[in-house]
Structure 1
Amino acid sequence: MPPPKFGSTSTGRSDETTTGNPFVDVTSNKVPGEKRSMGSTDAVVERRETDKSDGAVQVTVADDPFGSEEGAQIHYKTMEWWHCGVLLIAENISLGVLALPQAVAWLGLVPGLLLIFVLGVLAGYTGFIIGQFKEAFPQVASFADCGELIAGRIGKEIMALCQVLLLVFIMSAHVLSFALAMNVMTDHRMCTVGFALIGMVVQFFLGLPRTLKGVSYLSIFSCFSVFVAVTIAMIAIAIIKPDMGNVSAVSPKMSVVTGLTPVMNIVLAYAGHVGFFGFCAELKNPRDFRKSLAFMQTIAVTFYMLISVIIYYYAGANVASPALGSAPTIIRKIAFGIALPTIIIAGVINGSVAAKYIYIRLWKGTNVIHQKSFKSNGSWVAICAILWFVSWVIAESIPNFNSLLALIGATFCSWFSYGIPGGLWLYMNKSCLFSSALKGALTILNCGIFLLGAAMCGLGLWNSGHELQRGAGGKPFSCENNWRPGGGGH
């Protein structure tokens, strides 16, 4: 079957009210029993309208990974918009913010803040595209499903591998950050490999709940901890003023090589997109994702810019990464202790999304995913254990905080946060790319976003390879302290 065409009433997407709306606002009116296409596989769709006053449309799709949950022991599609909102905040505002003040120091105040703002706005727009795509194609529950829809089995497998790798790499960054925090709080009383192992075990056990709604309650503590920890460190740094005013509008020593690492760290601060389809899939009403995204992105961009400029201004050019390290010793230990929930829980969220994809793919089409049987529980625990073990191995292979973040940002986040969503918009609108002046402008914008993702990936990988080649990644599986006062992950 050929790929579905924009605006068709018999394709694999919902009906749209598209006249005069270049953003493709989906308001479906499909009838029960309509055929839906995903790649080359037809599926029967059953729709039933619910409360039209809030735009809610309940959709049951034959190849929906969760299927019908009536009478099931485990229910997945249970989240309200605020559950999703706190999950988004916990997933996004964690490790990324801790590297931003140093990123601004390396780039200079003007380009640093400009990049945080522009990339944040673009990340919000590309997140909105993901929500649109989910509404247009309700059967899509992951980027792998997007790959199958657009490029068949090959596209599915490539996207599946990339999204799982990205999530595992992010998990490894949280394992590494746990070890770094413990080294700070205990003055390196234990081998770093051991601290990382403890972090892996803690996050593994906290990630055992199978639904994101269950994890969302943990996310409340994560949100609270990151805001309090960063605020305490910021106030302490402002009081002691370690190098106040030693700032540059534009870094005089910035080169292509030195500038790419901080840019990739900014990209990583907006790296939550890989989990967005999974969050949409567990919402009671997928259209609520727009509200959740706007809530998170507004807070993220504002918080990132505020924290970056204040800490950089008072800590100066030698601001540490993670930024909590620029605080006095006692405050630094307190701040890292308070930040532990966000370090742990943000890793748990990414681990849950990765495990959920593998778990659903393993048992799709069966009742196992909705059971509490030995088979269902045992397979879930095994998947989680394997993913967390692999993340620990990666964390110990690249034990430098900034180098690992830059590698993740270059390899995957540039695509999932920017390049791929731009491509999804072009796919949704392929039959009317230049049907109006505004549509043409959006087509050019999304082509630019796609090319931006490709450029960031290529340049970032080149820079990460250069840094790792000269030994910036640190010694693999070393007991050495991965925290260095004044330099953070350097």
Structure 2
Amino acid sequence: MSNVKYADEKAPGPIVNEPSRDSDEDGVTFDALVAKDRRHDIQLRTMSWQKAAWLLAGEQVCLAIMAQSWSLSVLGWVPGIITMLLAGGLFYFTSMTMWRFIMKHPQIMDICDFGYYAFGKQRWAYHFTAFMLLANNIMLIGFHVLTGARVINTLSDHSLCTVTFSVIVTLMGIVMSLPRTLKHVSFMSMFSAACMGIAILLFLVFVGIEDAPGLGYLGAYPEAGPVKTYAFPPSGTTFVAAMNAVLNITFLWVPQILFPTFISEMEKPEDFPKSLAVLACLSAFLFIVPPVIGFRYLGQYATAPAFGSLGVVVYKKASFAFVIVPTLVIGVIYANVSAKYVYKHLMRGSRHEHSNTLIGWGVWIAVMAAIWWIGFIFAEVIPSMGDFLSLLGAAFDSFFGFIYFAVAYWQMNKRDLFGGFGRTVKTAFHAVVMLVGLFLLGPGLYAACDAIVADYSGSTRPAFSCADLSI
């Protein structure tokens, strides 16, 4: 797709006489695409499965983990844990469906190509997916600009206007985003995952040794009574609150919008399940165990992120400080995928697309700067981090975590949906996936928008405010 206007037109380049098992109807194979990539100055298809695993971990091990204790405080133990387990199971199996679909269509370079093929080579699907890709990724970059400003606010005791901190984070993000291959970004991901792991570990130590939590949404300890946990949502929990807690969980588990781009830059895409297995094991531990411990010690005082619930200021700063690294690196990953999409359309067919030329690098830097500055604007106009997560989970994860993969399964198996017990079970599973996606898109999007309206009707920071965002 990256070499032509639409993926139903045959791609130029070497085509083998005997199409391998990983070839599409045009006979294009991964081997042919890798061989063609080797002739470029800037080679993209170079990642091993180990580097891909680090890249996946760097994108997944993020601050959103620290919002899950709050989700448990809204849902309670039983619905909360069930939602986490279901989200994890759906994530793994839909990711495998996505990979199998890509193996049948080697030309897929990003989620836009995926949507094009999944919906039967419809051009509207490609353009709709492109809009969703850029909107999702740029809003997520904005979320990380906002997070970075909060980190610096907290560490500096709000020594400068928050907008200034946001500008600083944006400039740092632009500089860090200059590498053009995900292979290079994967090295950053190693440090990102390690720093987030240290932040989580410090939080768990501090929450266990301090006498009591500090400030929660219901007031400072002990205004809301002694710390308590509960099996089910407490009385008075509204549908909007419960739905936003669910969206926080699904947002954490649904990163597949980036996976087609990751796979397209692997030297051996058939090894992606190894990378996915590493990510699934790591995620199963980090997405459940730290939030459970956090809820156990914070109870109804849990905030999002949970660092804000710590009662000792030095504990809060020491653990939250490490979040600045994953905040920037994850923003870099989303910026890289977004910039690649824009860049390939601007430079398609020219020698600058895959070469180290002054024009090529100038356009790349300009595109990257524009993406980060648009993200900066989103960071300034959406009032809270929770609103960001809920809106993204409903508007985008419903498509890129569920609906698209149910459609892809149907596209692969529409001639034999009920051929035997195993195929029937898989078909039923993907029907459930579709229903979950539609539920998140409908009631979920309503709940997210309702929360944003409520925030703006109450006391919340105005756009481009210098207000202190310290946790």
TM-score by length of 1: 0.86
State the shift of 1:399 in Å: 3.2
Q: Does 1:199 align with 2:178?
A: no
- 1:99–1:322 CA contact under 8 A, matched in 2: yes
Determine the C-alpha separation between the residues in 1 that align with 2:290 and 2:239. Answer: 25
- 2:112–2:127 CA contact under 8 A, matched in 1: yes
The corresponding residue for 1:95 is 63
The correspondence for 1:370, drawn from 349, 354, 357, is: 354
State the shift of 1:130 in Å: 1.4
State the shift of 1:295 in Å: 0.5
- Aligned pair in 2 of structure 1 residues 46, 391: CA closer, same or farther (>3 Å)? same
Determine the C-alpha separation between the residues in 2 that align with 1:140 and 1:447. Answer: 24
Q: Deviations over 1:335-360 (max 9, x none)?
A: 12112111110111111111111112
- 1:267–1:413 CA contact under 8 A, matched in 2: yes
SS in 1 for 2:300: coil
State the shift of 1:58 in Å: 6.4
Residues 447-466 of structure 1 aligned to structure 2 (within 5 Å): 447-466=431-450
- 1:319–1:326 CA contact under 8 A, matched in 2: yes
- 1:176–1:399 CA contact under 8 A, matched in 2: no
The correspondence for 2:210, drawn from 235, 240, 249, is: 240
State the shift of 1:404 in Å: 1.2
- Aligned pair in 2 of structure 1 residues 242, 112: CA closer, same or farther (>3 Å)? same
State the shift of 1:51 in Å: 13
Higher relative contact order (CA 8 A, sep 6+): 2
Determine the C-alpha separation between the residues in 1 that align with 2:381 and 2:35. Answer: 40
Determine the C-alpha separation between the residues in 2 that align with 1:236 and 1:424. Answer: 45
The corresponding residue for 1:29 is none
- Aligned pair in 2 of structure 1 residues 378, 60: CA closer, same or farther (>3 Å)? farther
Determine the C-alpha separation between the residues in 2 that align with 1:38 and 1:381. Answer: 26
The correspondence for 1:481, drawn from 464, 468, 471, is: 468
- For 1:444, the aligned partner's letter is A
State the shift of 1:48 in Å: 8.4
Q: Does 1:331 align with 2:302?
A: no
Q: Deviations over 1:188-235 (max 9, x none)?
A: 111111111111111111011000001010111001001110110111
The correspondence for 1:313, drawn from 285, 292, 296, is: 296
Residues 433-472 of structure 1 aligned to structure 2 (within 5 Å): 433-472=417-456
The correspondence for 1:355, drawn from 320, 339, 357, is: 339
State the shift of 1:96 in Å: 1.8
The corresponding residue for 1:487 is none
- Aligned pair in 2 of structure 1 residues 464, 51: CA closer, same or farther (>3 Å)? closer
State the shift of 1:49 in Å: 9.3
- For 1:380, the aligned partner's letter is W
State the shift of 1:403 in Å: 1.0
State the shift of 1:411 in Å: 0.8
State the shift of 1:470 in Å: 2.0
The corresponding residue for 2:25 is none
Residues 143-154 of structure 1 aligned to structure 2 (within 5 Å): 143-149=111-117, 150-154=120-124
Using the aligned pairs only, state the percent identity. Answer: 27
Residues 91-240 of structure 1 aligned to structure 2 (within 5 Å): 91-149=59-117, 150-240=120-210
SS in 2 for 1:248: coil
State the shift of 1:40 in Å: 3.8
Question: Which consecutive unaligned segments of at least 5 residues does structure 2 have?
Answer: 22-27, 214-225
Q: Name whichever of 211-220 and 43-52 sits farther off.
A: 43-52
- For 2:78, the aligned partner's letter is V
SS in 1 for 2:463: coil
The corresponding residue for 2:270 is 287
- For 1:259, the aligned partner's letter is A
Question: Which consecutive unaligned segments of at least 5 residues does structure 1 have?
Answer: 1-11, 13-35, 485-490
Determine the C-alpha separation between the residues in 2 that align with 1:282 and 1:60. Answer: 13
Q: Over aligned residue pairs, what C-alpha RMSD do you find? A: 2.4
Q: Does 1:46 align with 2:46?
A: no
TM-score by length of 2: 0.89
Determine the C-alpha separation between the residues in 2 that align with 1:87 and 1:432. Answer: 36
- Aligned pair in 2 of structure 1 residues 133, 297: CA closer, same or farther (>3 Å)? same
Q: Deviations over 1:432-456 (max 9, x none)?
A: 1111121111111101101211111
- For 2:203, the aligned partner's letter is A
Determine the C-alpha separation between the residues in 1 that align with 2:116 and 2:385. Answer: 34
Determine the C-alpha separation between the residues in 2 that align with 1:37 and 1:339. Answer: 40
- For 2:383, the aligned partner's letter is P
- For 1:219, the aligned partner's letter is S
Determine the C-alpha separation between the residues in 2 that align with 1:199 and 1:335. Answer: 19
Determine the C-alpha separation between the residues in 2 that align with 1:205 and 1:84. Answer: 22
Q: Does 1:304 align with 2:274?
A: no
- 2:114–2:260 CA contact under 8 A, matched in 1: no
Determine the C-alpha separation between the residues in 1 that align with 2:391 and 2:259. Answer: 21
How many equivalent pairs are there?
A: 443
State the shift of 1:483 in Å: 3.3
The corresponding residue for 2:390 is 406
Determine the C-alpha separation between the residues in 2 that align with 1:289 and 1:40. Answer: 25
The corresponding residue for 1:8 is none
- 2:137–2:334 CA contact under 8 A, matched in 1: yes
- 1:100–1:308 CA contact under 8 A, matched in 2: yes
